[in-house]
Amino acid sequence: MAVNQLNYSENISIHTNEGINCKTRKAFFPIIFLPLLAFALALHLHLTVPNNQELSIRYTYAAVLVAATALYSILCLLSLKIEILSQKLKHFVPLITVAVLLVELWDLVTLKLALLELPYFPGPDKVLSVFKDDWQLLLKSTLYSLRLMFIAYLIGVLLGLVTGITMGWSKKVNYWVTPFLRVIGPVPATAWIPVAMVVFPTTFSASVFLIVLAVWFPVTVMTSSGIANVRNSFFEVARTLGADKKYLIFKVAIPAAYPNIFIGLFMGMGSSFLTLIVGEMIGVKAGLGWYINWAQGWAELHKVYASLILMAVIFSSLLTLLFKVKDKVLIWQKGLIKW
Amino acid sequence: MVNSRKIDSGKLEIKNVKRTFVDVNGNEIVALNDASLTVNEGEFVSLVGPSGCGKSTLLRLIAGLDNPDLGEVLLDGTAILGPGYERGLVFQDPTLFPWLNVKNNVASGLIARKVYNKKQNEVQDYINLVGLTGFENSYPHQLSGGMAQRVALARALVNHPKVLLLDEPLGALDAFTRMQMQDEILRIWQERQITVVLVTHDIDEAIYMSDRIIIMTPRPGKIQEIINVEIGRPRRRNDPDFFRIRSKILELLNFAKEEQLSYYL
Ligand SMILES: Nc1ncnc2c1ncn2[C@@H]1O[C@H](COP(=O)(O)OP(=O)(O)O)[C@@H](O)[C@H]1O
Ligand SMILES: [Mg+2]
């Protein structure tokens, strides 16, 4: 009897589940059109409401809207065939819709209604036009920043790993390096700018030094604490398996510390962005930080906004890349920090 | 091929071993006092006794993870000075390397000893031996407790230890998995003629598996009595002799408790 009842209730729950599935499947079709409506509304408002801030538009924003609409439509068509894509799209539908509406709101309060004034608050059309007009300088600045960042981050990470591993492993090294780390570490790398400018022969090497310092500190701290906190039983098991010292360091201590090391790499990347931009604003004569500073000097705020957008995209992509690597390496671990 | 010769067994001699610790309050704890025991080649011996009586301490001394204050521990006549692969160890916590999949966990001993290239085909043999065929690429967090403990067992066995040290390896498993793994350990022991020292708090497990049971008592930890389990193999869990030996052990442990009480009074 009891068994029958159980089966019965199971059947009911299966039916209701199917009901829900049908509903969501039907609801999917109108929802997927929401971004298209938003694109259309934005385009309509942008092209029909009279301009108040400036007389003419460059049609850059309009072109971007059209391109985005086309791209989104293609994705929608593809998602009919690819199940994963359709789920991804469904997830992003509300975000895309609201984002488009917000950008259009920005267009309305600046260019259209002039509630916010130039030169401080250019509209999306003016900002996006920077990418068309000044792309050469922007590209050059980006490449310059990336080169500096890449070299310095790599050196900082390597130094941090070596310091952290030897500190985590050797009590002696730990004893002598800890005070150094405690005193130097917390000082923001940017505070060293005046010293670095004097000590290093070129502004480039000076900024490499600053970023290396900014990256080295968190990577060292997280690596050494990660290694120092590895469960002793891992080492004991490895030793009963015949492990030598090299195995204990490279095959036990370091992999066990990976989760910590990745937090260090993440924090180091954050502080390297900061140091890069501040360093470029103050000393270096190229790069995105320099570009922002230079644009501000000419009161060309639309260029400042454009480079901010570019920076957001680049830095965010770099962090995403780091987390992709983390997911590959730490496949055995669940959780850690999400990005 | 793996089990063709009876090379995987060793003779353990524990001679008048003493080990003391200092606890957080600075008091001295005699974890083991004047413990002597010989475990013959291919013998299956269990250590039984209330917690804190020095069972793990004794096992760690044999493993070479710890050193005695007095006395010595010999394997085939040679003093044990540190850990070595000829003495395999399995804890209650499987302590698998979470960053390695099952295959690489089992292979870790071979890799550590730099013999992986020569012996890598044995990895699969041992995965099969403990019944984990098909789980080679799983990571420890995807395994149940019993499966993880099988991997730990395979990881210790792949090195062909002469002595297998098991510290309550089945303590955290459910009753059915435990009985199943008892049989598997016995099967491996019989195939390989390996010397086994098993720490357990399960008296039935000790009787079912061992040739001899070492009864230990705490404060100070010492070997109280050694019981020969003279029941033919394969054993049946409901053999009438079980109850006889069981009540003898219980008596011994109860007796020990009374003595301990009077010790404190
Ligand atoms: N590293 C240590 N430091 C201090 N005391 C310890 C240490 N290891 C074991 N002991 C003490 O020694 C005694 C025996 O411990 P142990 O061998 O782990 O007992 P068992 O395994 O029989 O439960 C216990 O009182 C325990 O607290
Ligand atoms: Mg114990």
Cβ-based interface (< 8 Å): residues of A facing B: 231, 233-234, 236-244, 247, 251-252, 255-256, 258, 330-334
Q: How far is the CA of B65 from the centre of ligand 1 (A)?
A: 14
pLDDT digits (tens, 9 = 90+) for A212-262: 999 999 999 999 999 999 999 999 999 999 999 999 999 999 999 999 999
pTM > 0.90: no
pLDDT digits (tens, 9 = 90+) for A155-212: 999 999 999 999 988 999 999 999 999 998 899 998 998 899 899 998 889 999 999 9
What backbone phi and psi angles, to 5 degrees, belong to B135?
A: -105, 15
Residue B137 forms contact with A (CB below 8 Å)? no
* pLDDT at residue number A32: 87
Do B188 and B194 touch, CB atoms closer than 8 A? yes
| Mean pLDDT score, B171-190 | 92
Task: List the residue whose alpha carbon is closest to atom 2 of ligand 1.
Answer: B21
CA B227 to chain centre: 17
Instruction: Give whole-number Cα distances, A133 to A35, A63, A118, A129, A302, in Å.
Output: 29, 15, 19, 6, 12
* pLDDT at residue number B22: 93
**DSSP labels for A67-103?**
HHHHHHHHHHHHHHH-HHHHHHHHHHHHHHHHHHHHH
| Nearest of B157, B105, B115, B173 to residue B135 by alpha carbon | B105
Q: Three-class SS of residue B1? A: coil
| Mean pLDDT score, A307-335 | 90
* pLDDT at residue number A281: 86
| Mean pLDDT score, A79-88 | 90
Residue B205, both tokens = 């497990």
pLDDT at A19 over 50: no
Give the burial class of A335: count Cβ atoms within 10 A of its Cβ; 0-12 exposed, 13-18 middle, 19 or more buried. Answer: exposed
**Which is the closest atom of ligand 1 to the Cα of B59?**
17
* pLDDT at residue number A339: 56
Query: Rounded to whole angstroms, how far apart are CA atoms B211 and B50?
Result: 20
Nearest Cβ partner of B85 from A231, A241, A252? Answer: A241
Please name the fold of domain B12-264. Answer: Rossmann fold (3.40.50)
Q: Where does the pLDDT of residue A31 fall: very low under 50, low under 70, confident under 90, or very high at 90 and above?
A: confident
Judge: A240–B91 Cβ closer than 8 Å, yes or no: no
Q: CB neighbours of A233 closer than 8 A, spacing ≥ 6?
A: B91, B93, B95
The more confidently predicted of residues A263 and A15 is: A263
Closest chain B residue by Cα to residue A236: B65
Q: For chain B, what are the domain ranges?
A: 12-264
* pLDDT at residue number A310: 96
Q: Give the gap in angstroms from C-alpha A170 to the nearest C-alpha of chain B.
A: 20
| Mean pLDDT score, B146-166 | 95
Q: Average per-residue pLDDT in chain A?
A: 88
Judge: B99–A258 Cβ closer than 8 Å, yes or no: yes
Query: Rounded to whole angstroms, how far apart are CA atoms A232 and B58?
Result: 18
* pLDDT at residue number B65: 97
**Which is the closest atom of ligand 1 to the Cα of B55?**
22
| Mean pLDDT score, B165-188 | 93
Q: Give the gap in angstroms from C-alpha A299 to the nearest C-alpha of chain B.
A: 53
* pLDDT at residue number A279: 87
Chain B (29-58) residues lying within 8 Å, Cβ to Cβ, of chain A:
none
Give the burial class of A189: count Cβ atoms within 10 A of its Cβ; 0-12 exposed, 13-18 middle, 19 or more buried. Answer: buried
Share of chain A above pLDDT 90, in %: 74
Give the burial class of A40: count Cβ atoms within 10 A of its Cβ; 0-12 exposed, 13-18 middle, 19 or more buried. Answer: middle
- Domains belonging to chain A, first-starting first, are 2-121 (no CATH), 135-333 (1.10.3720.10)
Compute chain A's Rg from CA coordinates: 27
Q: Name which of A98-107, A115-124, A145-154 the model is least confident about.
A: A115-124
CB-defined site of ligand 1, < 6 Å: B 21, 23, 29, 31, 51-57, 221
